[in-house]
Amino acid sequence: MKKSIKKNYIYNMSYQVLVFLAPLITTPYVSRVLEADGIGTYSYIASIVSYFVLFASMGISIYGQREISYVQDNKEKRSQVFWETKILEIITSSIAIGIYIIFSLTVANNIIYYICTFEILAILVNVTWFFQGIEEFGKIVFRNIIFKLLSILYIFMFVKTKADLWIYVFGMTFFVFLCNLSLWIYIPKYVSKPRWSDIRPARNLRMVIALFIPTIAIQIYTVLDKTMIGLITKDAFENGYYEQSIKISKLVLTVVTSLGTVMVPRIGYHFERGETDIVNNYMYRAYRFVWFIGIPLCFGLIGTASNFVPWFLGIGYMKAIPVLSILSFLIIAIGISNITGMQYFVPTKKEKEFTTSVLIGAAVNFILNMILISKFKSIGAAVASVSAEIVVTLVQLYMVRKELSFVKIVTSAIHYLIAGGIMLIILLFIGQSMNASIINTFCLIIIGASIYFLMLLLMRDAFFIENMKSVMVSIKNRINKQ
């Protein structure tokens, strides 16, 4: 059942392009309607809800995708893995929903908390991990695109004033639930009916918990920062600045991590068959891809932030400029750690190394948050998050030094750092004399991309030239067919 990596990457990227474009359409509108404190209120509540979502999912999606990838060619085995994994997920989700409902009765803004129940229900019906495991990304992307477009339409139709925060939250959560639910119509094609006498959900519990621990740690340094900003500063505006900045940086990051989503089942497939050389070759190419794409995206975001933020988020978000500039480094740090952690440690069953690295990152993040947020607020949280991710990345690269060459991984970034650095200097110089506007931001992006790719051509970067030739051949073949 092996699928083309390029095809799956294109599927994933087509959705990520929509994910990237959707906020370009909705964020300027929502930022102005709900304002920074409205966005901050939702950000804080969503960070609380995410802990219940974390318990509901419990690392089951990571485990399920990996185990399905091992048996994707055997319908009987993958059916058994599916039912055992899904039943366990239903049990954990049901417990999480029960506890969450009780918790919702005790807090202010409980109408928002009630609506966010759909986030946990989305885990209850989630089967995305199954289709990722069998490398059927087209079906996931098709559904995601439909419901993403519906959610955009919904926002513009029904979110009109600051009082419509609950309507906005409903749209953000309900469409995710519907999207996950809709994938069930494909399940009968790939999964046989359960033979209940053979189903033992508890047998997977030990491995699920092993993957749940690093998931908790990751949650600490991806969500705890928002919670701590709210608890320490008591300022919804600071949460709003951070929320919009982290949202933008994570949206750009999806361009990099899309490859990881399609690589995990492929690496798991080859690892299970003992094909180590193939796995290592995939890894080196994946690292180089992250450098190639991640460095210009990071530097480009820094170089355009002061021109981009005022028209995109509004004048009330000027403090988000330094926050966004700092968080831009997450694109590189998470991009590399995603390759090592999710694409290598998880499919090759190195849960211990994965857990250790993210626990160290979580500890660094928590300590730095305690020190920096009280003094620097959202900027301090940004510094803490980036520092934690860099630590995780370095620890993971140290852990794989015997399997993968650290020198080879790092030196493969040289061309992209040189090209990206020159691009950044020119963007900062040009940007000083340009007013903030969508046209000027677009011009800066075109200028930056042109400089970056020109520099790679001048340095005759093999990875860039090889992929450019591949694209040109593909275009030529399509033209000839017509």
Q: What's the pLDDT tens digit per position in 361-377?
A: 989 999 999 999 999 99
pLDDT tens for residues 252-302?
888 787 665 566 566 767 777 777 888 888 889 889 999 999 999 999 999
Contact 61, 128 (CB under 8 A): yes
Report which listed range, 338-342, 434-438, 473-477, is most confident.
Answer: 434-438
Phi and psi based region of residue 435 (left: phi greater than 0; alpha: psi -120 to 50; beta: remaining):
beta
Both tokens of 187, joined, read 């399940």
The per-residue pLDDT for 157 is 92
pLDDT tens for residues 423-458?
999 999 999 999 999 999 999 999 999 999 999 999
In angstroms, the Cα distances linking 388 to 135, 330, 391 are: 31, 10, 5
* Dihedral over Cα of 56, 390, 224, 352: its sign: positive
Q: Which long-range contacts (CB under 8 A, 24 or more apart) does 327-330 make?
A: 327/245, 327/246, 327/248, 327/249, 327/382, 327/385, 327/386, 328/249, 328/252, 328/298, 328/299, 328/301, 328/302, 329/298, 329/386, 329/389, 329/390, 330/249, 330/250, 330/253, 330/385, 330/386, 330/389
Contact 331, 300 (CB under 8 A): no
Look up tokens 């009109």; give the residue. Answer: 160
**Calpha distance 387→393 (Å, rounded):** 10
CA dihedral 136, 138, 144, 145 (to 10 degrees): 180
pLDDT tens for residues 170-189?
998 999 999 999 999 999 99
Q: Choose among 55, 164, 49, 168: nearest CA to 107.
A: 49
413 pLDDT higher than 90: yes
The per-residue pLDDT for 12 is 64
Of the two residues 195 and 390, the one the predictor is more confident about is: 390
Q: Where are the domains of the chain?
A: 5-412
The per-residue pLDDT for 11 is 64
Of the two residues 3 and 153, the one the predictor is more confident about is: 153
Report residue 348: phi and psi, to 5°: -95, 15
Enumerate residues 6+ apart whose C-beta is below 8 A from 98: none
Q: What is the mean pLDDT of the chain?
A: 86
Both tokens of 431, joined, read 């940007």
Treating both helix axes as pointing N-terminal to C-terminal, what angle do 205-233 and 5-57 enclose, rounded to 10 degrees? 70
- Measured in whole angstroms, the distance separating CA 237 from the mean position of its chain's CA atoms is 24
